[in-house]
Amino acid sequence: MRSIIWDMGGTLIDTYPEVDQTLAKAVWATPTREQLAEVAQLRSESIAHAIDVLAARHHVSPDRLNDAYSALKRKWIHDPAPLMAGAAEVMAAVRRGGGLNLVATHRDRTSAENLLHALAVQTDDLVCAPDGLARKPNPQMNQILIKRHELDPTNVIAIGDRTIDVKAAHAAGIEGILLSREQYPEMHTIKALRELQAYL
């Protein structure tokens, strides 16, 4: 059985719709579809990038955007964003087969642990870039998990929704799979998490 290193937001947990709405409403009272698309495009780089660009582009205080995002993270403690479709089934299959469900995320540890706790999701380990680890596409988080759990890299898959997740996987010597509705010819891509079952 193969172990999985999960990215969190947009891969394991469906955080993006609420993040996009929250940031958009901090800029516009009633965001349009085009404005939400603008936020989503910026957020695809990172939430911090979205906040910086939105603040500068639309003359909004960065504090207003950061405060809105902080309020959302507090909300998630008791009203979390949902698991991505198929995530629970894949995690259960990994567990039944004796593999590990590991998480490598750019999210701060408090927020990550709060989300996992609120969703009653059991993971075998969690590493967070804000704990002093390099952000993807640097492979450090993957390498730490592989070493800590004495895993054979050929039996590990990393799954994420951004190309940096796959690049970080490849740099760590493990298979990387991109969760995306767009095709990237140079990357192994799936459109739904349930497709992972075929690789376990």
Q: What are the structure tokens assigned to 169, written together? A: 């996987």
Cis peptide before 137 (omega within 30 of 0): yes
Tell me the pLDDT tens digit for each residue of 182-197. Answer: 888 889 999 999 999 9
Beta strand pairing status for 125-128 and 188-190?
unpaired
> What distance in Å separates the CA atoms of residue 82 and residue 91, rounded to the nearest whole number?
15
The pLDDT of residue 1 is 72
Tell me the pLDDT tens digit for each residue of 166-178. Answer: 999 999 999 999 9
Domain ranges of the chain: 3-14+82-199, 16-78
The pLDDT of residue 7 is 99
The pLDDT of residue 41 is 97
> What distance in Å separates the CA atoms of residue 179 and residue 163, rounded to the nearest whole number?
9
- Residue 157 contacts by C-beta under 8 Å, 6 or more apart in sequence? 2, 3, 4, 5, 169, 174, 175, 176, 177, 196, 199
Contact 80, 8 (CB under 8 A): no
Tell me the pLDDT tens digit for each residue of 29-55. Answer: 999 999 999 999 999 999 999 999 999
Q: pLDDT tens digits, the chain, 200 residues: what are they?
A: 799 999 999 999 999 999 999 999 999 999 999 999 999 999 999 999 999 999 999 999 999 999 999 999 999 999 999 999 999 999 999 999 999 999 999 999 999 999 999 999 999 999 999 999 999 999 999 999 999 999 999 999 999 999 999 999 999 999 999 999 988 888 999 999 999 999 99
> What distance in Å separates the CA atoms of residue 162 and residue 73, rounded to the nearest whole number?
21
| Tokens 């639309």 belong to residue | 58
Give a three-class secondary structure readout of the chain.
Answer: CCEEEECCECCCECCHHHHHHHHHHHHCCCCCHHHHHHHHHHHCCCHHHHHHHHHHHHCCCHHHHHHHHHHHHHHHHHCCCCECCCHHHHHHHHHHCCCCEEEEECCCHHHHHHHHHHCCCCCCEEEEHHHCCCCCCCCHHHHHHHHHCCCCHHHEEEEECCHHHHHHHHHCCCEEEEECCCCCCCCEEECCHHHHHHHC
For CA atoms 61, 15, 21, 47, give the dihedral sign: positive
The pLDDT of residue 101 is 99
Assigned CATH for 3-14+82-199: 3.40.50.1000
Single-letter amino acid, residue 182: E
